[in-house]
Structure 1
């Protein structure tokens, strides 16, 4: 059978395309590396129930020959065993393995485990080359921003209707008022009541906004979250009679067994699962693509039993998340001369890998609240995301700031994150603090439990040619394929930007009466070189010139007739907020283009 489309990956980059094409009676095959995990029903429990016990909780030991061999690591049942499929990164000349960069391997991808923060980018995020063309910035002595920044091949207005479509079909709650983005249709569901601890974030955001711009202060708004709070007609999901009962804090880093978190599985794929023209194959690993004369004519994949299969389609969409998509394209180039000369025609594949410049501040409130009665975030602000702030502070790009309401909501999450900033360092603070025992554990809980509040930011990272994804020359996965090799560093302006925005986060807490314990950027973390937060972007950026990009404006690979890449790897800049919403919106946009050519 020749499908109209094969979609590799079922998360934010793949599911909107599968949904759009299948709804228009196109034949679609979705190949997903991980399992299909359903929400619980009246007769069956969801496998995501297990996440409450084992997510990031089962210790394994790194066994391969790398610099950090022998160290423990932690992963859930929807992330790979690091000994089977590591990501390797270069840490000052030493190769180390990491679990960072994997979102989730299951139908719905990372949208099952993320915190659900779903911010639109600002119009400026699409035009950072134009915004900076006449500026000489601090901490950019070589003019890297001018040289390397790229405008997107379209502006905010092109993506706006697809933002609206995503907000409606996926199901987001939040408020549009006070966001520094143009708005036509407000499809947000009504947010739930904020947790009492978030009042400190709200007060601090208001106070800082008044200080920075007394005449027209940026005011907080309810953080857009991919969690339904009312019955959701497009997906058929219904909330409990008491919607407030949804506030359980099991959102960030956990799968939602109730199906209220708007993963692409429950919101897009499950409603069309029974269509005869749609086939979803979980537990199937795509090993490589094959092409002839610029047409991808074979997709090779392993079924759950390890048997090799081939599939053919008029259009092939790669959406494995950026690191793994680049890796798949590079492996395909190793095995096919036609594929290699086309995908590597300008040697940019894997270059300009991006994450986010991010960080924040944390502290202790005077009293204590029940933080388990929360979602992930209650309040956000664009006070550091307007032109005046950027010009006053000599920054190339802005940031959205929001509070992490559910951080350390339960004792297990409090202990596993002591001193941790990424997946590689979970539990290590507790494990190596030999003084944390007996009465000191009681004191630690008394001082921290229900009292910790943090404020976070996400900002554009300066694109750098040398930030790249390659294939490791020696380390192979369990299928004997080269694993991804991450070479990444922070630009001096990234560090300057992180310091500036972290100071805003510190001031928000301080102005609200919070005892601030720390503030800073992710580059300062123990594992700061590889710090990704699973915001894996770039590596196959799109653009209008084929000598300067891997993909054309519709995310089609240059010199291929039918190959599209639609996860975060298409981004030439990383945006001023969490990327999932923009990946989904762009995927809906590309889906309309694919429909026009089928």
Structure 2
């Protein structure tokens, strides 16, 4: 018996950076939007009737019972793990990655956060724009033969220009900065705004002076890192700040939910304000979309499980998928597995899931001479676009560059020091100190004395080379608790990625070495760490101007569907030279305007 189908104007699957901005645009224009979110709604202190936030402070480091992986047929079956309240249990709904030894392992990497607001609830808020060059890397590298570690010309062959340029995206960057709520400064950036919507930054933490001095010594223009944290009252969302602005500073902003609502996640900045609009907006949390159903070129039904696990269906004029890149690809693949015609339409060229991207990233760290209270800070103070300039990266035989910024909040708490020990990833950061048996007793006290409040790190973000072999598929035998194949991530680094990361890591090291009295300077990149997937999940359903070479058209509509759009980071054909969240939000606002013309 077919489930009775509910009818709405627009369904948006996912409430994070890809789904919330266009929802905000459509509802403000008087349209009806239903948002389906797999995770829970966690309220801030001001939103909760009892004045207590729903966050539990276990978002990055679970404090519950130890569990064991029971998934069969993978290399880490039987290993222990802990889970938090905003990530899926590894035994319920893991991702699977193919490791460098060819074996499969289950992981929670690639889940940016399963919660209303998505990854914007847990990120540190670093929100730079991409450079104009990030959007035209094919044109910029055409005809080059001087690239490092690219013997067969794959970098130039696989580079792609975006089907929209910086000039078209620029007003939507401004809209995002205004409506989301971002603080920072423009002077020193390689990007020029048409209007300045930044709020003023707070005073930098004392430890950041070393990063500033190192950038100055090397002639690198610097600016205050754009952060999605409000520092003054924010009229678009109705949020207010404490009278003591210094109390806004808390290292908990990075990797933890913000109980005060000052971090500009998409729930507090874009969705919660829609409740005052009246009719038109509905958010259903704890609802898992299982697959889409289509008749010809139109998606006719969205199938989901409600919080009680009951099967529900809803139809809409427009369906927007914004589950975060890995899960969006998986949802489309699951829908195709249930219907050959859906599969042909969404993946006729075989590119769904292909060209999966993260970022080239890494950096350097050191110990500084004087101890600082790193708990009283936001995520970053200073950034530089010096290494994102074409003249800089072309001189070094690189196809692209990257932004460098200091991680002020990194290692602000003893538990976060564990995460930096051997570059722990999300699955095993809780094991951090166990990797060195010398960090016991007096050794642990010495470790804290030498590092706590003295560790300073710099990070870079840079474009990863798109490779068709880097992909997201459905796993052949591992299934989730609903019996659906889980996402299977197959990803390696191109030789040019490693060369690029080495060069940028050396630049980070040079900044620290020129920043004053420092010691124990070290540098490295994700290419040499235990991190496999990372939390900037991009690509897999890239947009483009040619239906033969992309999954989505320039408006992020699936080429062979009339009413199916994908607006999370999976649309990106290249990963950019900076954190991607603001660009995903800007593009979602752009698609929102496109949908207004249709509706």
TM-score by length of 2: 0.96
Q: How does 1:73-84 map to 2 (within 5 A)?
A: 73-84=81-92
Residue in structure 2 matching 1:132, options 141, 147, 156: 141
Q: How does 1:62-101 map to 2 (within 5 A)?
A: 62-65=69-72, 66-91=74-99, 92-101=101-110
**Would you say the 8 A contact 1:509–1:515 is kept in 2?**
no
Q: How does 1:289-300 map to 2 (within 5 A)?
A: 289-300=292-303
Partner residue in 1 for 2:523? 519
Residue in structure 2 matching 1:420, options 410, 419, 423: 423
Residue in structure 1 matching 2:372, options 344, 362, 369: 369
**Would you say the 8 A contact 2:109–2:426 is kept in 1?**
yes
Residue in structure 2 matching 1:393, options 383, 393, 396: 396
The Cα shift of 1:254 comes to: 0.1
- How far, CA to CA, are the matches of 1:48 and 1:457 in structure 2? 33
SS at 2:332 equivalent: helix
The Cα shift of 1:336 comes to: 1.7
SS at 2:364 equivalent: strand
Residue in structure 2 matching 1:17, options 15, 22, 29: 22
1:505-540 deviation line (CA, Å, top 9, x unaligned): 000000013224320110100x24x231x1000000
Partner residue in 2 for 1:8? 13
SS at 2:77 equivalent: coil
- In structure 2, runs of 5+ residues without a counterpart are 1-5
Q: How does 1:458-477 map to 2 (within 5 A)?
A: 458-477=461-480
- How far, CA to CA, are the matches of 2:95 and 2:60 in structure 1? 22
The Cα shift of 1:338 comes to: 2.4
1:196 and 2:206 are equivalent in the alignment: yes
1:176-228 deviation line (CA, Å, top 9, x unaligned): 111101221000000000000000011111112x2xxxxxxx41100000000
**Would you say the 8 A contact 1:318–1:567 is kept in 2?**
yes
Q: How does 1:466-505 map to 2 (within 5 A)?
A: 466-505=469-508
**Would you say the 8 A contact 1:56–1:426 is kept in 2?**
no
Classify 1:53/1:33 alpha carbon distance in 2 versus 1 (closer, same or farther; 3 Å). closer
**Would you say the 8 A contact 2:324–2:537 is kept in 1?**
yes
The Cα shift of 1:431 comes to: 2.2
**Would you say the 8 A contact 1:55–1:77 is kept in 2?**
no
Residue in structure 1 matching 2:61, options 55, 60, 75: 55
Partner residue in 1 for 2:3? none
1:30 and 2:35 are equivalent in the alignment: yes
Partner residue in 2 for 1:279? 282
Residue in structure 2 matching 1:148, options 144, 147, 158: 158
- How far, CA to CA, are the matches of 1:579 and 1:296 in structure 2? 28
The Cα shift of 1:157 comes to: 0.5
SS at 1:273 equivalent: helix
The Cα shift of 1:442 comes to: 1.1
The Cα shift of 1:55 comes to: 3.4
1:463-521 deviation line (CA, Å, top 9, x unaligned): 00000000000000000000000000000000000000000000000001322432011
- How far, CA to CA, are the matches of 2:96 and 2:59 in structure 1? 28
**Would you say the 8 A contact 2:19–2:568 is kept in 1?**
yes
**Would you say the 8 A contact 1:32–1:282 is kept in 2?**
yes
SS at 1:505 equivalent: helix
SS at 2:354 equivalent: coil
- How far, CA to CA, are the matches of 1:101 and 1:72 in structure 2? 19
**Would you say the 8 A contact 1:363–1:453 is kept in 2?**
yes
State the aligned residue count. Answer: 587
- How far, CA to CA, are the matches of 2:129 and 2:430 in structure 1? 33
CA RMSD of aligned residues (A): 1.3
1:262-291 deviation line (CA, Å, top 9, x unaligned): 000000000002421111000000000000
- How far, CA to CA, are the matches of 2:419 and 2:536 in structure 1? 21
**Would you say the 8 A contact 2:59–2:255 is kept in 1?**
no
Q: How does 1:253-272 map to 2 (within 5 A)?
A: 253-272=255-274
The Cα shift of 1:47 comes to: 4.2
- How far, CA to CA, are the matches of 2:51 and 2:75 in structure 1? 41
Classify 1:54/1:172 alpha carbon distance in 2 versus 1 (closer, same or farther; 3 Å). closer
Partner residue in 1 for 2:442? 439
**Would you say the 8 A contact 2:186–2:192 is kept in 1?**
no
The Cα shift of 1:415 comes to: 3.2
- In structure 1, runs of 5+ residues without a counterpart are 211-217
Structure 1 range deviating more: 282-291 or 37-46: 37-46
The Cα shift of 1:48 comes to: 4.5
Classify 1:481/1:153 alpha carbon distance in 2 versus 1 (closer, same or farther; 3 Å). same
SS at 2:10 equivalent: strand
1:591 and 2:592 are equivalent in the alignment: yes
- How far, CA to CA, are the matches of 1:171 and 1:159 in structure 2? 18
1:121 and 2:104 are equivalent in the alignment: no
- How far, CA to CA, are the matches of 1:53 and 1:290 in structure 2? 34
- How far, CA to CA, are the matches of 1:43 and 1:318 in structure 2? 32
Classify 1:293/1:53 alpha carbon distance in 2 versus 1 (closer, same or farther; 3 Å). closer
The Cα shift of 1:138 comes to: 1.4
**Would you say the 8 A contact 2:363–2:508 is kept in 1?**
yes
1:79-130 deviation line (CA, Å, top 9, x unaligned): 1101111110111320011111001111111100001000100000000000
- How far, CA to CA, are the matches of 1:509 and 1:56 in structure 2? 33
SS at 2:56 equivalent: helix
SS at 1:427 equivalent: helix
The Cα shift of 1:435 comes to: 2.6
